[in-house]
Structure 1
Amino acid sequence: MRYRQFGKTNLQLSVFSLGTMRYLASAENARQTIAKAVSLGINHIETARGYGKSEEYLGRAIASGLGLPRSQLYITTKIPPTADANYLQHCLDESLERLQLDYIDCLAIHGINTWEHLKLVRDEGGIAAVQQAVKQGKVRHVGFSSHGSLELIQAAIASDLFEFVSLHYYYFFQRHAPAIELAKSKNLGIFIISPADKGGRLYTPPQTLKDICHPLTPLELNYRFLLSDPGITTLSVGAASAEELIEPLQFGDRDEALTPVEIAAYQRLEAKLALDGQKCSQCYACLPCPEEINIPEILRLRNLAVAYDMREYGNYRYTMLENAGHWFPGNKGNRCTNCGDCLPRCPEQLNIPDLLADTHQKLNGAPRRRLWE
């Protein structure tokens, strides 16, 4: 396992972190998963008060002993954005009690997903309440997570209020590359959220994608894309059991520069994405949409479904639209009224209404919610 400095926190974190949203089958399953992660070199565990019994189970595991001194085990938990100092203090004290800890290494404001969330924290007293917790010794370092727009993430980073950021960024979703670069320039720790799952459900890739990536695997190429960037600190592994740690952690020491074989695989992936003139270039010029359709994300999912047969992943993400609120905002493609507002703004001159209808037909299914709901 390799370790990297988590930005200005100066903590040395393992390049893989244990995310705890999925180990909730039982306290014993959680203990086994945590113990296995630590035995394999993970020293950073991320939880949240919103993840069911995750904090409680993690606290029990820490109390039982994991073979790693507390000073070398780094815990991140997350609280919702708020300007209510009393509520924030209540959330933090409750988390500390569940975790059976005197302090939390890293506290993330969980889900600065809208401009209103950022205003609460930055302008209306939220950050002052967090800074008070730091002065009290209950928190060592403060950061934020976001599922919001690139512009919002950049604004939060530019506020200079945070020491680290947790965000979505993968080979198959590079929209947030400018935020990654801004975070590096500010010496923020960078934590990548769910690269195997949200990054493409790469633990169960379609045969078409496997064939393009061969002799490498899609999962390996995504991990290597991220770990070859020395500015990215750590990647989340959301294991539901100890066994699910084995495959991803075989890449824990693979942080060297990209090899010619890997570069050739990325070139094959890029060539396959041409789509005969129907590729969305992800410029976001089509927004805003009068019907609040998430056009770029929908067409990104279409890109992947058509080029690589990533329909299972596309269905997984597409059916969260209209069902996950600000965590995954925007309406589905069938809301299009053919108003034509987006057409003159598209530099690729795509027939966006037709592509939205096609994507809806390909990917729509039963509604989904976020896992802890």
Structure 2
Amino acid sequence: MLYRRFGKTDLRLSVFTFGAMRYLDSKENAVNTVKEAVRLGINHLETARGYGESEKFLGAAFRAGVPRDKVYVTTKIPPTPDGETMRRQIEESLSRMGIDRIDIFDLHGINTREHLELSVRKNGCLEAIRRAVAEGLIGHLGFSTHGPLPLILDTIATGEFESVNLHYYYFNQRNAPAIELAHRLDMGVFIISPTDKGGQLFKPPARLVELCAPYTPIAVNHRFLLCDPRVHTLSLGAANPAEFAPHLVVADMGGPLSEAEAAIIARLDRQFREIPSACEQCYQCLPCPEAIHIPEVLRLRNLAVGFEMDDFARYRYNMFGNAGHWFPGTKANGCTECGDCLPRCPVGLDIPALLGQTHQMLHQGERKRLWG
């Protein structure tokens, strides 16, 4: 297992973080999964107040013998309207986990301008977190985000945070400028859910398997991330002890891409260029009067048409309208063909037609995010 300095925190974290959001079948399973993570060399355990009984089960793992002094713990709490509420919730999280210090505390889900303003305003929740840091209840402060790139850049630029937890994968590189800004400010960079949100790579379609051969899509995506020294740790949300295995083949591979790996990335890049009417993800079509997240809808179309990633595209598409600020936007059948987006597309896509095609291809019913 490789370890990397997590930015200005100076903590040395394993390149895989155990994301404790899917191990909730039972307390016994949770404890065994945490023990296996630590046995494999993972020294960063990440949970959240909102992940069901996750904090409680992590506490059970400590009581069952997981050495607290050998691991770093991150928990996440959303911005609160006042400092008193935040303080109470911090103390509740500490109590549930049975620990006296949160090594890294993340403000969970700075996804909108309102979340950022709520956090940094005078006498707000950030002041309460700072007091907890001064008292030793919290070691370091970061934030997690599913928000748009401009908001992520502005949140990083506040200088209030030591780390950022965000989406960035081979199949979604929109947040590359945030990775660069975080690097310039010496912030820790933690990648959210690279195997699931990165394309449900644990159940890849035959076309994607073929393109990534002789490696697995999971390994290719991990290497795309870990060859970048600006990226420090990747979330690995194993639901049970057996689910670590597919990731371990790259756990000690942190250098530049090999010739064979670079050839696979080049092959994937060529496949993107062959997608008919591919969206190039410039985001110039936004805002949409009907609140359709046009670039994300068409990104999912790219993946379905170009890589046969239909299951993943349907999984994400059918969250539109059901996940609030965690996955904003309405479904593409809300397009009124107003034409507002057309002159803004630099490659001249027939966006209304592509939206209609994508809805017909991907719509299968409503789906909510795992943690509502």
Q: TM-score, normalised by structure 2?
A: 0.98
Query: CA RMSD for the aligned pairs?
Result: 0.9
The equivalent residue for 2:201 is 202
Confirm or deny that 1:115 pairs with 2:113: yes
The equivalent residue for 1:33 is 33
The equivalent residue for 1:78 is 76
Shift of 1:277: 4.7
Q: How does 1:175-254 map to 2 (within 5 A)?
A: 175-254=174-253
CA distance in 2, matches of 1:80, 1:212: 39
Does the C-alpha gap of structure 1 residues 164 and 264 become closer, same or farther in structure 2, counting only changes over 3 Å? same
1:203-230 per-position Cα deviation (integer Å, ceiling 9, x unaligned):
1100011111111221111000000011
The equivalent residue for 2:165 is 166
Shift of 1:256: 1.3
Does the C-alpha gap of structure 1 residues 309 and 276 become closer, same or farther in structure 2, counting only changes over 3 Å? closer
1:173-194 per-position Cα deviation (integer Å, ceiling 9, x unaligned):
0000000000000000000000
Does the C-alpha gap of structure 1 residues 274 and 139 become closer, same or farther in structure 2, counting only changes over 3 Å? same
Confirm or deny that 1:59 pairs with 2:59: yes
CA distance in 1, matches of 2:64, 2:265: 44
Shift of 1:2: 0.3
Which of 94, 97, 116 is equivalent to 2:95? 97
Shift of 1:34: 0.2
The equivalent residue for 2:315 is 316
Shift of 1:310: 0.3
Confirm or deny that 1:45 pairs with 2:36: no
1:223-278 per-position Cα deviation (integer Å, ceiling 9, x unaligned):
00000011111000011101001111221101111011111111111111124550
CA distance in 2, matches of 1:4, 1:366: 42
Does the C-alpha gap of structure 1 residues 255 and 276 become closer, same or farther in structure 2, counting only changes over 3 Å? closer
Q: Which amino acid aligns with 2:72?
A: Y
State whether residues 75 and 106 of structure 2, in contact with CA within 8 Å, keep that contact through their aligned partners in structure 1.
Answer: yes
Shift of 1:372: 2.9
Shift of 1:298: 0.4
Q: Which amino acid aligns with 1:45?
A: L
Q: Which amino acid aligns with 1:97?
A: S
CA distance in 1, matches of 2:152, 2:247: 27
CA distance in 1, matches of 2:43, 2:225: 19
1:80-125 per-position Cα deviation (integer Å, ceiling 9, x unaligned):
1124111001110100000000111010000000000000112242
Q: TM-score, normalised by structure 1?
A: 0.98
Shift of 1:126: 2.3
State whether residues 323 and 369 of structure 1, in contact with CA within 8 Å, keep that contact through their aligned partners in structure 2.
Answer: yes
Confirm or deny that 1:347 pairs with 2:365: no
The equivalent residue for 1:265 is 264
SS of corresponding position for 1:226? helix
SS of corresponding position for 1:365? coil
State whether residues 77 and 106 of structure 1, in contact with CA within 8 Å, keep that contact through their aligned partners in structure 2.
Answer: yes
State whether residues 275 and 303 of structure 1, in contact with CA within 8 Å, keep that contact through their aligned partners in structure 2.
Answer: no
CA distance in 2, matches of 1:205, 1:121: 39
CA distance in 2, matches of 1:320, 1:20: 22
CA distance in 2, matches of 1:83, 1:325: 19
Structure 1 ranges of 4+ moved more than 6 A: none
Q: Which amino acid aligns with 1:117?
A: H
SS of corresponding position for 1:263? helix
CA distance in 2, matches of 1:102, 1:239: 26
CA distance in 1, matches of 2:310, 2:173: 19
State whether residues 21 and 372 of structure 1, in contact with CA within 8 Å, keep that contact through their aligned partners in structure 2.
Answer: no
State whether residues 43 and 73 of structure 1, in contact with CA within 8 Å, keep that contact through their aligned partners in structure 2.
Answer: yes
Q: Which amino acid aligns with 1:371?
A: L
State whether residues 275 and 306 of structure 1, in contact with CA within 8 Å, keep that contact through their aligned partners in structure 2.
Answer: no
Confirm or deny that 1:5 pairs with 2:8: no
Confirm or deny that 1:106 pairs with 2:104: yes
CA distance in 2, matches of 1:338, 1:370: 29
State whether residues 78 and 109 of structure 1, in contact with CA within 8 Å, keep that contact through their aligned partners in structure 2.
Answer: yes
Q: Which amino acid aligns with 1:111?
A: G
CA distance in 2, matches of 1:130, 1:249: 35
CA distance in 1, matches of 2:5, 2:283: 33
- Runs of 5+ in structure 1 lacking a partner? none
- Runs of 5+ in structure 2 lacking a partner? none
